Amino acid sequence: MSVGTEPEKPLLSVENVTKHFNVRRGAFGSVRATVHAVEDVTFRINRGEVLGLVGESGCGKSTIAKLIACLHNPTSGLIRLGGVEISSLPEERLRGFRSRVQMVFQDPYSSLNPRMTAGAIVEEPLREHARGSAKKRRERVKTLFRQVGLPYEMASNYPNAFSGGQRQRIGIARALALDPDLIVADEPVSALDVSVQAQVINLLARLRGETGAAYLFVSHDLAVVEHICDRVAVMYLGQLVEVAPKRELFSMPRHPYTEMLMQSVPALDRRRKARQLVVGEVPSPFNPPSGCRYRTRCPLAEPRCSESKPVLRPVGTGHLAACHVRAPAVQN
């Protein structure tokens, strides 16, 4: 399966990656069940690009974020960073690669060590990766504080002295410290209030221009993703159902799940609308439906949808959808 038509060599390519988690009876017991968290997912991120990954809770978007940050190993499939396969590297070689992919986490309260000062938190990756002398590191921390809009005088304060938005800025400064090629941001603004969320979104957009880093922006909020991303990938129950440049996706969603997701989002300029009835809930990832995983909720489902799994097929420029009905295989 080929994804995208750009001849450019991607920064990151995720190729047919699958991740299963075994649920055991007790710590050493027999495998009781298997969660199919991510199933045969393929996509790429180009240099400097912001790719949005959207989906409902439990669809596997955070698992993908962790796979890319090498916090999980894939059950099968390859993850390449700059052409090098990182998913099977031994730990000592992986260390160097880790500095090139950094994470920003969702919860600014639990993702900062309460016993370290803000300055020490931002400096930690530099120390861990032995970048520069103590003096150089301090200079770098100063620059980072300025970049994320925090006064350096606050560097000696502990996280509890900062507001939620300020804490998220500390988390972002920490992710930027090693000048990574890719920042994996897992719901970075979901825990923030509207007025502060706008500040952090604008900060991320500005930093993107300043540092040239690529982002994987994981979010459940379609409007935020539309605002900040170049391309968007939609996940459902462990699989990618649609990938497209954002204008393309938001003007002409092709997968019925993407359509349903967009219709569910309440809108400011609309009274309660006659929306297509959103039916049912996401099935259990322990025992996903055969064929197309969305077929149990899909208004377009046909018999063939339960027989074979649809693959991502092009439906427009850089636009892929996995749907037997909307993106059928070309008949020869």
Partner 1 sequence: MRTEPEPAAANGVAADAPKPLLDVRNLTVRFEMLRRTVHAVSGVSFSVREGETYAIVGESGCGKSVTALSLLKLLSMPPARITNGSVYFDGQDLLELSETRLQDLRGPAVSYVFQEPMTSLNPSMKIGWQIAESCKKHFGMNREQALARAREVLQQVQLPDADERLDSYPHQLSGGMRQRIMIAIAIVCSPRLLIADEPTTALDVTIQAQILDLLSDLQKRTGAGMILITHDLAVVAEYADRMMVMYAGRKVEEGPVDAILSNPRHPYTRGLLQAVPRLGSSLSENSGRSLSEIPGIVPLLDRPFIGCPFAPRCESAIERCRSESPPTVEFADGCQSACILSESMGAPE
Member of 210, 273, 330, 331 binding partner 1 (CB under 8 A): 273
Q: Does 224 bind partner 1 (CB under 8 A)?
A: yes
Q: Report helix, strand or coil for 29.
A: coil
- Cβ atoms of 268 and 92 closer than 8 Å: no
Residue from the set 84, 267, 287, 302 that interacts with partner 1 by CB under 8 A? 267
Contacts of 10 (CB under 8 A, 6+ apart): 4, 44, 45, 46, 47
Q: 245 - beta bridge partners?
A: 231
Residue 115 touches partner 1, criterion: CB under 8 A? no
Q: Which is nearer to partner 1, 107 or 221 (CB)?
A: 221
DSSP string, 226-247: HHH-SEEEEEETTEEEEEEEHH
Stretch that binds partner 1, among 81-89, 133-141, 178-186, 270-278 (CB under 8 A): 270-278
Residue 41 contacts residue 237 (beta carbons within 8 Å): no
Q: Cα(55)–Cα(60) distance, rounded to whole angstroms?
A: 8
CB of 317 to partner 1, least distance (A): 15
**How many C-beta atoms surround the C-beta of residue 303 within 10 A?**
9
User: Residue 198 interacts with partner 1 (CB under 8 A)?
Assistant: yes
The nearest distance, CB 77 to partner 1, in angstroms, is 26
**Looking at 160, 271, 303, 317, which residue binds partner 1 (CB under 8 A)?**
271
Residue 170 binds partner 1 (CB under 8 A): no
- Mark the segment that binds partner 1 (CB under 8 A) among 75-83, 101-109, 126-134, 199-207: 199-207
* List 93, 95, 136, 247, residue binding partner 1 (CB under 8 A): 247
Give the nearer residue to partner 1 in terms of CB position, either 97 or 250. 250
Q: Quick check: 260 binds partner 1 (CB under 8 A)?
A: yes
Among 90, 194, 330, 331, binds partner 1 (CB under 8 A): 194
Considering only residues 261, 292, 312, 315, which one is a binding residue for partner 1 as defined by CB under 8 A? 261
Which residue, 75 or 199, is less far from partner 1 as judged by CB? 199
Cβ 95 to partner 1 shortest distance, Å: 36
Minimum distance, C-beta of residue 292 to partner 1, in the bound complex (Å): 17
| Site size for partner 1 (CB under 8 A) | 45
SS3 at position 284: coil
Which residue lies nearer to partner 1 by CB, 66 or 208? 208
**Closer CB to partner 1, residue 297 or residue 313?**
297
Burial of 134 (0-12, 13-18, 19+ CB in 10 A): exposed
For residue 264, what are the CA distances in angstroms to 260, 276, 278, 279, 300? 6, 9, 7, 11, 18
Which listed range, 2-10, 78-86, 126-134, 191-199, lies at the site for partner 1 (CB under 8 A)?
Answer: 191-199
DSSP E strand stretches across the chain: 12-24, 31-45, 50-54, 76-81, 84-85, 101-104, 182-186, 214-219, 231-236, 239-245, 313-316, 319-321
Piece of the chain touching partner 1 by CB under 8 A; list 18-26, 223-231, 288-296, 312-320:
223-231
- The answer to whether residue 124 forms part of the interface with partner 1 (CB under 8 A) is no
One DSSP character per residue, 95-147 reads: HHHHTTEEEE-S-TTTSS-TTS-HHHHHHHHHHHTT-S-HHHHHHHHHHHHHH
Beta strands in 143-226 (DSSP E): 182-186, 214-219
Block residue for tokens 């462990």: 238
Judged by the rule CB under 8 A, the positions of this chain that interact with partner 1 are: 56-57, 163, 165-166, 193-199, 201-202, 205-206, 220-224, 226-227, 246-247, 250-251, 260-273, 275, 278, 281-282
